[in-house]
Amino acid sequence: MNVLAETIKRVSHQLAGREVVTVEEIRRICMHALLPFYSEHPELDFEEIADRVTNSMCSEPETINSLFYSEKIDLAGIEFRHTHTCSPTGDLVGEAYDEYLKSKRLLDSLDRMKSVTDRFFSGYGVEDGLVRIYTKNKFRYGVFYSLIDDVERFLDIHEDFSRNFDGEYVVAVTTETEIFPFLRFFRKNSDRVSDAGMKIWVINVDQMSIDPFIGYPKDFTLLKGFKNPKVASQINSLWREKVDQID
């Protein structure tokens, strides 16, 4: 299988119908689109693949399945890409801007998120990659970094990866300005996450702290690394009653 071509196809599928995007959004989606191939190809360089996907979609298409945003406009220092036949409207640019803000928030936080998990897994061996691998004795953890809304959007991919991962699979997500995205996610998806053996932990990059949202590590010595180690059990017992009120 041509991993690059398949990744381009998957990213294009996710952006189908979108006439205005940014490179930041393409790269964010690429993270999830590439994940299904990581188990068999852990040597894949995300930055290299993301660069080629972006180039295919914005400069020189590499496959017939690649969307092509050939035109660009600069607004307030942000470069927006759009299709040749599109005359960008305020609504189209506004949607792309919202996705840009989400994408930039994640991409700009990645280094700090990795620093938080490195400290959390102090004493573990570390292997960098799209999934950051931590190993110590019989314990092995794979950590993927995301936004909570993207975990839901690509949950099928994460479930499959978790079930096939040799170890414990953790999706580390950033905090949000409101609690409602987490309430909605818990209501709709907590059982699916647990059934797949996944864990979702929340990183506050301002406080450089991490807390459990769904699931605890089997290495109980790690619990002391959480800022509030009991929060996941509290969520499980208390929030189920509250999330029924959230649509």
Closest CA to 120 of 205, 210, 199: 210
Assess if residue 132 is contained within a domain: yes
Q: Name the pLDDT band for 213 (thresholds 50, 70, 90).
A: very high
Identify whether residues 70 and 144 lie together within a single domain.
Answer: no
pTM, entire model: 0.93
Identify whether residues 136 and 222 lie together within a single domain.
Answer: yes
Identify whether residues 98 and 125 lie together within a single domain.
Answer: no
Identify whether residues 132 and 233 lie together within a single domain.
Answer: yes
Of 86, 109, 132, the residue at which a domain comes to its end is 109
With tokens 């309430």, the residue in question is 183
The number of distinct structural domains making up the chain is 2
Of 76, 109, 142, the residue at which a domain comes to its end is 109
Q: Which amino acid is at 22?
A: T
Neighbours of 99 (CB within 10 A): 20
Q: Which two tokens stand for residue 134?
A: 């931590």
Identify whether residues 130 and 64 lie together within a single domain.
Answer: no
CA 39 – CA 26 distance, rounded (Å): 22
Within 13 A of 50's CA, how many CA atoms are on the CB side? 17
Per-residue pLDDT at 18 exceeds 60: yes
Assess if residue 27 is contained within a domain: yes
Assess if residue 116 is contained within a domain: no
For residue 40, the domain's CATH number is 1.10.3400.10
Assess if residue 186 is contained within a domain: yes
Query: For 233-244, how does the pLDDT look when each residue is reduced to its tens digit (9 = 90+)?
Result: 666 655 555 544
Closest CA to 45 of 30, 57, 60, 65: 30
What domain range includes position 57?
A: 3-109
Of 85, 109, 133, the residue at which a domain comes to its end is 109
CA 87 – CA 65 distance, rounded (Å): 23
Higher pLDDT, 207 or 235: 207
